[in-house]
Amino acid sequence: MKRKRASWMALLSLCCWLSWTSSAQANWLDRIKDIYNTPEKVDQVLKEYEATKEQLEAQRLRMEEAESRQQELVRRNEELLRQNALLQQQMEALKRSQDERAARTRQGVWTVMTAALLALGYMLSVRIWRYVVWRRQGRPVNPDEEAGHEN
């Protein structure tokens, strides 16, 4: 019984002491309350953990999608680069072909012009030669005029 009475006294003393303590000791009391509320906090921490885990998983999925999209874009870019190189080669071949065609056309024009000038020169030289020969022989320019003088 003395023991029971001593327990009650100790409990009563503790309650009185707790009620008369300063605010710094109130933190100690809050800690004791927190210890008894730990299962609730553990549940809250677990919920936060699960939410963070779901966010992390969603972020990982978005990152995988972004990596997949990036790989697709890199592959597409490489394909476009190959097509671009092929088109560049085709354009260069077409340019060479056009340059060769233009060179042949220029050469043909020069050939035709040279032939025409040579023909014109030949005709002019024949006319000049005939005129010189006619002057040396002393004949009139028009043969009908010569016949008219004799009448």
Token digits of residue 43 = 């549940």
d(CA 148, CA 48): 135
Residue 151 has pLDDT above 50, yes or no: no
For the ranges 2-11, 43-52, 116-125, the one whose mean pLDDT is highest? 116-125
Map out the domains of the chain as residue ranges.
25-107
pLDDT at 60 over 60: yes
Q: Say which residue, 26 or 151, is predicted with more confidence.
A: 26
Q: Is the pLDDT of residue 143 over 70?
A: no
Average pLDDT, the chain: 83
How far does Cα 95 stand from its chain's mean position?
Answer: 26
Kindly report the pTM of this predicted structure.
0.43
Rg (CA), the chain: 59
Rounded to whole angstroms, the maximal C-alpha distance in the chain is 191
**List of residues 6+ apart from 25 with CB closer than 8 A:** 18
Under the banding of pLDDT at 50, 70 and 90, the label for residue 2 is confident
